Copies of this chain bind each other. A is one copy, B any other.
Amino acid sequence: MKDHPTEMNGAESVLRSLHADGVEICFANPGTSEMQFVDALDRTRLMRCVLGLFEGVVTAAADGYARMAGKPAVTLLHLAPGFANAAANLHNARKARVPMLNLVGDHALRHQKYDAPLSADVEGACAPFSDWLRMGRDAGSFAADAMEGLAAAKGKPGRIATLIAPADIGWDAGGQIADPVPSVGPAPLDEAAMNEAVAALESDDRTVIIAGLSVLEDPAALALLQGIADKCGADILAPTSNRRMERGRGRVAVKKIPYPINAALDCLSGYARAILIETLPPVAFFAYPGKPSLLLPDDCQKIALTGPDGDGPGAVSALADRIGARAARVRDAAPLPIPQAGGITPAGIAAVLANTLPEGAIVVDEAVSSGGDLFAGGDAAPPNSWLALTGGSIGIGIPLSVGAAIACPDRPVVTLQADGSAMYTLQGLWTQAREGANVTTIILANRSYEILKGELRNVGAQPGPDALSMLNLDRPDLDFVSLARGMGVPGRRVEDIETLRRALRDAVAEPGPYLIEAMI
C-alpha cells in the first residue's frame, strides 16, 4: 500500500491509520483549518465524534476517557488560540501521565508566512504543554507522523503528543496508511534501588512507601504492598493528586499526602526512609515564606524504586518476593453512618457517597477546599474508581466526567465539583447532555474561592474588602440549576443532607446527566 501515490488525502490517511491502531474516538472543537479532518471523519465514519463547545472541555474529556479506557483518544483543535484554550486541561493530563494525541490545525504551509488574523506561533504555543511535538510536512508522511505521536502517547508513562496539521497537507492527495509504531515499555527495575528498599524495610527506621500511577489502579498490587507494609511496619501513602485510584470496600484504603502545607509536612515528618514507586519525591503545591519546598525531611533517605516510567506493580511483586510478603487480607474502612438530617457538610457528603454509590461507580473529585473531608467516602463505598484533579489547574471535573462516562457507559459517574472551579469549563454540561452521559454533578456551593482565603493567610495577610471582592463568588450568586438547564441538564438545589442523599440515589439510577447544587 505504501509504494504508490494514492488518491486518499492526508487527513483520511491519518484517521485510518490511527483507527487501525485502536483509536476509536475523536473529541473535537474544530475550525476552518480542520475542515478536512471533519470531512474525513464524516466520510470514513470510523471514529465516534464528540463535540465540546470549548477546547478545555475537549482535552478534559479526552483525559477522562483515557484514564478509564486505558488508551488515548485523539483531539481536534484549532490553531494557536484553540490549543491555548485546551492547554490548562492538557497541563492536568500531562501531570497525570495520561496518554493523548492532539491534532492541531494550522494554516496551509504557504499561508503561514503572512500575518493573517489567526496566524500565531503554533509550535511555540504547543511546546510547553506537550511531551512530544511535531509539525506535519506533507500528505505522504502525515500518517507516519501521527503514528509516531500515538506511540509516544501510549508509552510508559503516558504522554501528551501533539501533531500540528497544516491545512494543505490534510487536503492533499497522496496520503499513505502508516503501520503502528511500537511504544516504549517501562524502564527496567533498578537492582540497586531494590536492595536499598529491602534494606529500608528490614531496618528499624520509620519507613514510608509512596506509590503512584498504575500501582493505585491495581487492587492486587495494593494488597501486596499492604502485605509488605504490614510485615515490615511501614506506612503507605499516595501522592496528593492521582490519575485514578481503585478504591472501596475489599480494597486497600490508601491515605493521600494532604494538600495544606502544614498538614503535608506533619504527615511526612519523622520518616527516616521513603520508598518511591511510580512517583517523584513529593513537592509542596506552592512555596510559602519560611516553609520548605520538598515535603520529605531533608535527612530522609529517598529511594526511587521506580520512577513514573517504571513498572510499579512489577516492582511491588519483586519487592514482596524479596521480603517474603504476601497479599494482605484487606480490612475494610470503618462504615460512615449517614447523617439523618441537618445541613450539608463535606463529611456528610462523604457518608452519603459511602452509602449511596453503587458498585462500579466512577467518582470525579474536583472538590478542592471540600476535598479533604470528602475523600473518606471513597474507601467506605463499594468498589469504585476515583479520578482527581492532577495538575492543580482548576476546571476539569465536569468535562473529565464526560470522557469517563463515554469510556464506561455502564458505570455511573458522580462528580464532586467545587463551584468556583466549575465555572471554568461549565460548557461540559452540554456535552454531557448531548452524549446522554450518566453523570451526576454535585456542585459544592460555598460561593467562594475558599481555598484562596487560606492561601492568603498563608502569606500572612487578612482579607479586606478588595481582596474579598476577588475571592468571593457572591454578588450575584451563581444559580447552577439554571445554568445546567440552559445546557439541557436537569437539576435541583438541595440544602439538607437527607435531600441530597435521595437526589443522588435517584440521579445515579436514572440514565443521562443530572446536577445537584449542594449548598454548603
Binding site for B on A (CB under 8 A): 28, 30-33, 35-36, 38-39, 41-43, 45, 49, 51, 53-54, 56, 79-82, 84-85, 87-88, 91-92, 95, 107-108, 110-111, 114-118, 120-121, 124-125, 127-129, 167-168, 171, 240-241, 280, 283-287, 289, 293-294, 390-393, 395, 420, 423-424, 426-427, 430, 433-434, 452, 455-456, 458-459, 461, 463-467, 469-471, 473, 475-488
Contacts and interface: CB of A to CB of B under 8 A. Distances in A.
Contacts of A433: 476
18 contacts: A35-B456, A35-B459, A38-B470, A41-B466, A42-B464, A49-B466, A49-B470, A81-B393, A84-B129, A107-B286, A108-B286, A116-B284, A118-B393, A168-B287, A171-B459, A424-B427, A480-B486, A485-B486
Contacts of A434: 475-476
A127 B125 CA distance: 8
A81 B85 contact: no
Contact of A116 (B42, B49, B283, B485): B283
A486 B475 contact: no
| Number of copies of this kind of chain in the complex | 2
A84 B88 CA distance: 6
Nearest to A424: B54
A287 B110 contact: yes
A469 B110 contact: no
A237 to B, nearest CB: 16
B470 A111 contact: no
B286 A466 contact: no
B459 A284 contact: no
A202 B280 CA distance: 73
B287 A459 contact: no
A469 B28 CA distance: 10
A485 B487 contact: no
B51 A470 contact: yes
B117 A240 contact: yes
Contacts of A79: 393
A456 B38 contact: yes
A283 B115 contact: yes
A45 B469 CA distance: 12
Contact of A32 (B53, B285, B466, B482): B285
A482 B486 contact: yes
B91 A120 contact: yes
A405 to B, nearest CB: 16
A391 B287 contact: no
Complex A-B, nearest 7 residue pairs according to Cβ-Cβ distance, in ascending order: A476-B488, A483-B486, A482-B486, A111-B287, A84-B87, A81-B393, A108-B287
Given A111-B287, A476-B487, 5 more contacts: A41-B467, A85-B424, A115-B283, A118-B391, A171-B289
A466 to B, nearest CB: 4
